[in-house]
Amino acid sequence: MLIGLRHGMDSDHIAAIADMVGAEKQKNQQLKLGMMYAVGHGAIVFVIGMLAIFAGTHLPVGFLRVMELFVGLSLLLLGMFILYSVVQQRNDYEYQGRWKILSATIYKLFRRKTLTEDKLSKFGIFGAFVIGVIHGIGAETPTQVIVISSSVGLQNLFFAVAQLLLFVIGVLMATIFMTYFASWGFIKAKFKKKLYLILGVLTGFYSVTLGISIIGGM
């Protein structure tokens, strides 16, 4: 579980959660997005681990590379957009993450009465789950690899599954904690424009740096 808590605080998790939480104004929606990201990430790690334990099956290296590239590019583009927004709207900056950008784009492309804010909100929640799954596949960090490998090596099936499950629970706990922390931080920052601007700049640079690091390390 402790390894799961450590994995839940990996850099790609922090960047994704900061993006989702910062883009939403309502605290309840912020928490929903963070939790769905955690559920998506935890679910795919559990599935991959179970396949490895019962079937000795591992995802193809080529597929993992493609997913890793996707994660790196998404973080790079996200960070560049945030920094561009800061420069363009420096006097009245308001953070926008991928969910807001994607929702606004869909709304512009399909201006229909049936496309309500509620549907866009549900789309964002589903998107958070999908991003969690993608990050779980495309960002196989050392902690994740160690747990899955050690679980496969255990002779007792019960202990192997239990170890994997505890790891996933640790990931969920860490991600939910970070979501609450990020939500509190962004809500406080909104009352101080300069702090909000600094937060946007830091988030943008962090996302760009992380994206370049992931792509460069392939």
CA 138 to chain CA mean position, Å: 11
How many C-beta neighbours within 10 Å does residue 211 have? 22
Phi, psi of 24 (to 5 degrees): -105, 140
Quick: pLDDT tens for 125-172. 777 787 778 777 655 544 444 455 555 555 566 777 777 788 778 878
Phi, psi of 97 (to 5 degrees): -100, -175
The ranges assigned to domains in the chain are 2-216
Tokens of 119: 């549907």
Quick: pLDDT tens for 11-60. 666 666 766 666 556 667 777 777 888 888 888 878 877 776 666 555 56
CA distances for 114 relative to 99, 109, 119, angstroms: 19, 13, 9
Residue with tokens 């960070």: 79
CA 199 to CA 95: how far, in whole Å?
Answer: 9
Contact 21, 30 (CB under 8 A): yes
Q: Helix and strand tally (H, E) in the chain?
A: 9, 0
CA distances for 30 relative to 34, 136, 155, 181, angstroms: 6, 20, 42, 11
CA 112 to CA 115: how far, in whole Å?
Answer: 5
Sign of the CA dihedral running 41, 99, 218, 178: negative
Tokens of 189: 């920052």
CA 162 to CA 157: how far, in whole Å?
Answer: 8
Quick: pLDDT tens for 44-102. 878 877 776 666 555 566 766 776 777 777 778 777 877 777 777 666 655 555 555 55
